[in-house]
Amino acid sequence: MIISIMNKIKHLKLNCLAIAFFAFSVNAVFAQIARRAETLKSPDGKLLISFNFSDLKHVSYAFTAYGKTLIGPSALGLDSLNQIGFIQASHRSVNTVWKPIWGKRTIVPDQFNEITIELKAYKIVARAYNNGFAIKYQLPAGSRRSRDLTQFNFSGDYTAWFYNGELHNIGPEKLTEVDGKRLPVMTVKADDHDYMAVHEADLEQGEPLILESKKGSKNFTIASKANAAWRVVMYGRTPGELVDSHMIELLSPPPAKNIDFSWVKPGVAVWDWRINGAKVDNFEYKMSLPSWKRMVDFAAQSSMRYLMLDADWYGPEFAEGSDPVKGGKVAQVHEIITYAKTKGIGIWLYINDVGGRKYPIEQTLKQYSDWGAAGIKYGFMIGDPEDKNIRTRLITELCAKYHLLCDFHDGPVHPYGQMRTWPNALAREYGPAQLDAHRVVAPKTFVTEVFVNMLAGPIDMNNGLADLTQAGRVDEPSPVPSTLVGEAARTLIMFSGVTVIPDIPENYKKHPEILEFYASEKMPWRESKTISGVIGEYISMARQSADGTWLVGAATNEEPRDLEIPLSFLSKGNYRATVIQDSKDSDYRTHKEGYTSKELNVTSGTKVRVKLAPGGGACIILKKTN
């Protein structure tokens, strides 16, 4: 009897323990599932990225800015690795600074919060900055990447603009109107206080980013093959905040510690391609030594840094027999490099993919370095985008090895932050240079591409013509859709490590105030600030030169415009302002070169009003007075 009662009590205890253990297990499972919703905030707490992977098969994220969800639940992951098998999530924070050799400013805050979500097959790494977020996938060594499932499922039918090769940008376009593939940068306006831009950073290898959407959808997927790059969403309360962002560079690694880049010097370059055929004072400019010497003399007198020699100096550029170290005018090139050194001017040499592949590229670049060249302009690279990226990285690295700057033209791979890893990579022709593409370029093109193309990095657009008719030019004697002041302003606004201006000295000397503006563009910039702007309409930009001079450039589309330029970016003290603006009869359609110039005494509290003609602009030089 007693034994029976004891057994019943023991059995009851076991059942209670089982029930308790079951309840604990269920709670642990639910806690684990609940824990599979991770969040990541920007350092200032204004941006939030939430991650959800509670069904064990799919990962998604959403993006909220200032309490408003701009990107709804959107897929993450890699196709063949969709059994995610969550292991753990870890967090870290970074708060430091980047001091670039050159860039938009001398000191760049590098502040972000990061989460690493470790899954069975791979890791998801995400960073939140105060001006956007980025996501990438890390695979174990030897693993093969499959289809990238990353989506951008926008919460509203926002307005977007896209890069479009050497044509005018696509857009403005409603998200639901997009039907097919689009190229980054993709700039998005959600409302008057929320702007985004989709791009990639640190593309080590693989196919460059391609986006895709179907008509009626607000969801964008990745149509390109998976790669190891960061998927980036830049954010700003104004479009100007996107322009001023450094996210793309910050997501790229710093240069290797054993490589010296102290020799890298950004600056303004004069150019021989557009001078060809111009006549003045019984002299006809050609792409040869007498003209090069005149250009070097002008560059030295005007405090500019370089002369860029373009195609055909080593023979017809597309002829396989044109030897890039022995052909054509190579003796004249030796002479101009030697002459330019006496004036403190560096010489860039053009080479295209025919000569670059027909002859050993490393030997060619070493030879240019031995001659004393400052850099190369590389044109017409062949291959698909993935091949181009591999070759571009190879040439950039070789140029760094031999202390050569580089500028890639003619449909290059989009910039993706390479200027941080390889500071010798000064520019790429990422868009329609207006001197070539006048058939598709209009004033609205410039004030669109600065909010789209330029977000990718430093680009070379060859603005700054002084004779807007291009009279007598051999290559393209067609008028340019701008005013004289607008052309000058565009050289400042367009961020680049080499600002290539295309006209002859005599044309610049006709306009001393504008020539002073060009001569004042001394890089590296100490500071940059987008003052105001509307995508496709206008932009105003301030940059502080290496010598402390502040410069302001403003440009407009086809509409005339009155702008108020607040000088609040100035430090305390008194300044003398030279204000250059279009004259009353200026108009890009009649190619008027008229402008007015006036002097003002100003302070940081001053607001300067300027008038911009259709297709025109304004320039301001600000120098501190004692």
Q: Is the peptide bond before 185 cis (omega within 30 degrees of 0)?
A: yes
**Percent with pLDDT over 90 in the chain:** 83
452-471 mean pLDDT: 92
* 16: confidence class by pLDDT, cuts 50, 70, 90: very low
> What is the per-residue pLDDT for 145?
79
Which residues, listed in sequence order, are joined to residue 303 by a DSSP beta bridge? none
> What is the per-residue pLDDT for 480?
86
Distance CA 41, CA 35 (A): 17
More confident residue, 466 or 146: 466
260-265 mean pLDDT: 97
* 536: confidence class by pLDDT, cuts 50, 70, 90: very high
* 82: confidence class by pLDDT, cuts 50, 70, 90: low
CA angle 297, 401, 363 (to 5 degrees): 85
Distance CA 154, CA 407 (A): 35
Q: What is the 3-state secondary structure (H, E, C) of 427-495?
A: EECCCCCCCCCCCCCCHHHHHHHCCCHHHHCCECCCCCCCCCCCCCCCCCCCCCCCCHHHHHHHHHHCC
- pLDDT of 324 higher than 60: yes
> What is the per-residue pLDDT for 13?
45
> What is the per-residue pLDDT for 23?
42
What rounded mean pLDDT belongs to the chain? 92
- pLDDT of 491 higher than 90: yes
The structure tokens 């140029």 sit at: 399
* 41: confidence class by pLDDT, cuts 50, 70, 90: very high
Which residue, among 216, 234, 228, 221, has the nearest Cα to 76 in the 3D structure?
A: 221
- pLDDT of 360 higher than 60: yes
Which residue, among 116, 468, 40, 401, has the nearest Cα to 255 in the 3D structure?
A: 401
C-beta of residue 537 within 8 angstroms of C-beta of residue 448: no
User: DSSP class of residue 143?
Assistant: P
C-beta of residue 577 within 8 angstroms of C-beta of residue 552: no
User: Can you say how many angstroms the Cα of residue 503 is from the centroid of all Cα atoms in its chain?
Assistant: 25
**Percent with pLDDT over 70 in the chain:** 92
More confident residue, 382 or 87: 382
For 60, the token pair is: 């998604």
Distance CA 602, CA 569 (A): 12
For 497, the token pair is: 């490590």
* 472: confidence class by pLDDT, cuts 50, 70, 90: confident
Distance CA 457, CA 419 (A): 8
* 84: confidence class by pLDDT, cuts 50, 70, 90: low
User: DSSP class of residue 80?
Assistant: G
Distance CA 66, CA 489 (A): 34
Residues 575-623: pLDDT tens digits?
999 999 999 999 999 878 999 999 999 999 999 999 999 999 999 999 9
* 80: confidence class by pLDDT, cuts 50, 70, 90: low
The pTM is what?
Answer: 0.93
User: DSSP class of residue 513?
Assistant: H
Q: Is 217 strand, coil or helix?
A: coil
- pLDDT of 67 higher than 90: yes
For 4, the token pair is: 């029976």
- pLDDT of 114 higher than 90: yes
Distance CA 112, CA 41 (A): 9
12-19 mean pLDDT: 44
What distances in angstroms separate CA 205 from CA 141, 226, 391, one per listed residue? 15, 10, 10
Burial of 256 (0-12, 13-18, 19+ CB in 10 A): exposed
Distance CA 137, CA 230 (A): 8
- pLDDT of 512 higher than 80: yes
Burial of 606 (0-12, 13-18, 19+ CB in 10 A): middle
The structure tokens 């070097």 sit at: 296
C-beta of residue 587 within 8 angstroms of C-beta of residue 615: yes
* 26: confidence class by pLDDT, cuts 50, 70, 90: very low
- pLDDT of 525 higher than 90: yes
The stretches of 192-284 forming alpha helices (DSSP H) are 239-243, 247-250
> What is the per-residue pLDDT for 22?
41
Q: Are strands 375-379 and 405-408 parallel, antiparallel or unpaired?
A: parallel
- pLDDT of 25 higher than 60: no
Alpha-carbon torsion 321, 384, 412, 367, what sign?
Answer: negative
Which residues, listed in sequence order, are joined to residue 578 by a DSSP beta bridge? 599, 621
Q: Choose the weakest-confidence range: 10-24, 214-228, 552-566.
A: 10-24
316 CB-side CA count, 13 A: 4
Which residues, listed in sequence order, are joined to residue 379 by a DSSP beta bridge? 352
310-335 mean pLDDT: 96
Distance CA 412, CA 445 (A): 19
> What is the per-residue pLDDT for 81?
56
Q: Choose the weakest-confidence range: 7-21, 184-198, 267-281, 523-537.
A: 7-21
The stretches of 187-281 forming alpha helices (DSSP H) are 239-243, 247-250
Which residues, listed in sequence order, are joined to residue 612 by a DSSP beta bridge? 561
At how many degrees (to 10) do helices 330-343 and 289-301 cross? 20
> What is the per-residue pLDDT for 14?
43
> What is the per-residue pLDDT for 441?
86
End-to-end CA distance of the chain: 110
* 475: confidence class by pLDDT, cuts 50, 70, 90: confident
Distance CA 407, CA 348 (A): 9
- pLDDT of 626 higher than 60: yes
Distance CA 228, CA 136 (A): 7
- pLDDT of 95 higher than 60: yes
> What is the per-residue pLDDT for 56?
60
Alpha-carbon torsion 244, 248, 252, 256, what sign?
Answer: negative
* 438: confidence class by pLDDT, cuts 50, 70, 90: low
